[in-house]
Amino acid sequence: MASYRQPGVVLTDHHFTVPLDHDDPSGEQIELYGREVVAAAHADDSRPWLVYLEGGPGNAVRRFVGKPAWLGRAVQDFRVLLLDQRGTGRSTPQSRQTLPQRGGPAAQAGHLALFRADSIVRDCESVRQRLTGGAPWTVLGQSFGGFCVTHYLSTAPEGLATALITGGLPSLDAHADDVYRAAYPRIRRKAEAHYARYPQDVERARRIAAHLAERPARLPGGYTLTVEAFQSLGILLGSGDGSHQLHYLLENAFVRTAAGHELSDAFQEGVRPVLSFATHPLYAVLHEAIYAQGGRPTDWAAERVRAEFPEFDAATALAGDEPVLFTGETIHPWHFEVDPALRPLRETAELLAARADWAPLYDPARLAANEVPVAAAVYHDDMYVDTADSLRTARAVRGLRSWVTDEFEHDGVRASGPRVLDRLLALARQEL
């Protein structure tokens, strides 16, 4: 294990081997990577462990420098493990480059079915035994990480001393159709709020969409910027400063050239990292699968349900005088046509969308009998996770203490510095 220092903290790299399929423990093994973070002043102390589960699915854990955001509060009390969930970051990555080794699309889809919350929690339990000697630890889950924590409470609560969830209390029984049927009105509200803040962006977005309707742009790296892809920049609107980021992207979209107005290089270069899934392909491939259970396929739920909300149709908006609405955290078949990081995985994604034999993710009876201290931050009108669903689940988990706030957006645990984590710890410890 290699240890090194950053301002105020000591970091140690950990590598763990776990079964690809925990039901076949003697079969193929994969590697997990975790970065231990401890306050420099407490590097030699025996402190309890906290494992952090990042949002996603498919996102590697954030690479912090020092102890910003919630991490500074966490290392006051804990030795923190920043875990790259299976398939992400340095944990045996899964991508268009690696998956062909599995065989064709059917083999790839069967393989990726082992990368949901159920496997992630079993990975955590394997890691916990090695790090703590079997002692329970605290888990902090952001967004999809909170979905994983809810599964943890359903299947292995004996491994948890405390459970903390931020923006990630899932519905226990909603199908993906239900999730998106509730999501599109929230997305519309976020887009309308953006235009209310920046009314000049209404015309800018219409102009960009009209340009792309005639001439889709090929971005650096090969991404094809279509009208639908442009609308998906609305994924920014779920974070605290996302509306401002979107505004700054739009204000420099065009440049005058000898051939007329063109999309500027600066705009195209700014858009590319927001839209490309090159760094997190599992987010796209497995996104709807995080809602899959109960014997029903997801069947491209976001795409099908969008048809129920014609106000998102850009062609209709451009034909009249309506604003072009942005969309948000939705994955569509066209993602696998415009993004070179996803094109080779189109058939694999189709098979996952058609799959119906997903195992249940949550155990309502066990959650109703919960004995683990649980605290959850629920962000009012969160664009990514439905508030009503979160509050129903909060009531279904025995002893869960919820904090509903409109002070922050979905990224509150990062944007608030130590405040959100400090509040959750106080709730879980019955200090509030």
For the chain, what are the domain ranges? 3-173+362-428, 176-354
3-state SS assignment for residue 402: strand
Kindly state the tokens that stand for 30: 């994969």
Structural element, H or E, at residue 167: none
Quote the CA–CA distance of 261 and 236 in Å, as a whole number: 26
pLDDT of 432: 87
CA distance 132 to 16: 14
Please report the pLDDT score of residue 280 as a whole number. 98
Q: How far apart are CA 334 and CA 228, in angstroms?
A: 8
Closest by CA to 252, choosing from 241, 266, 271, 238, is: 266
Cα–Cα distance measured from residue 99 to residue 33, given in angstroms and rounded to the nearest whole number: 19
Task: State residue 60's pLDDT score.
Answer: 97
**pLDDT at 45 (0 to 100):** 86
Cis peptide before 57 (omega within 30 of 0): yes
- Does the pTM surpass 0.85? The reply is yes
Q: Tell me: domain 3-173+362-428, CATH 3.40.50.1820, correct?
A: yes
- For residue 424, the model assigns a pLDDT of 98
Active site residues: 143, 357, 410
Distance CA 329, CA 147 (A): 16
Residue 378, classed as helix, strand or coil, is: strand
Identify the pLDDT of residue 44. Answer: 84
The secondary structure of residue 19, as a DSSP letter, is E
103 Ramachandran zone, left/alpha/beta (phi>0; psi -120 to 50): left
Average confidence (pLDDT) per 10 residues, the chain, 432 residues: 91 98 97 97 91 97 94 97 98 98 98 98 98 97 98 98 98 97 97 98 98 96 97 97 98 93 96 97 98 94 98 97 95 98 98 96 98 98 96 98 96 95 98 92
Q: What's the pLDDT at 192? A: 98
User: Residue 153 and residue 397: Cα distance in Å, rounded?
Assistant: 9
**Residue 137 CA: distances (Å) to CA of 45, 80, 83, 223, 270:** 16, 10, 14, 42, 40
Determine phi and psi for 255, rounding to 5 degrees: -135, 145
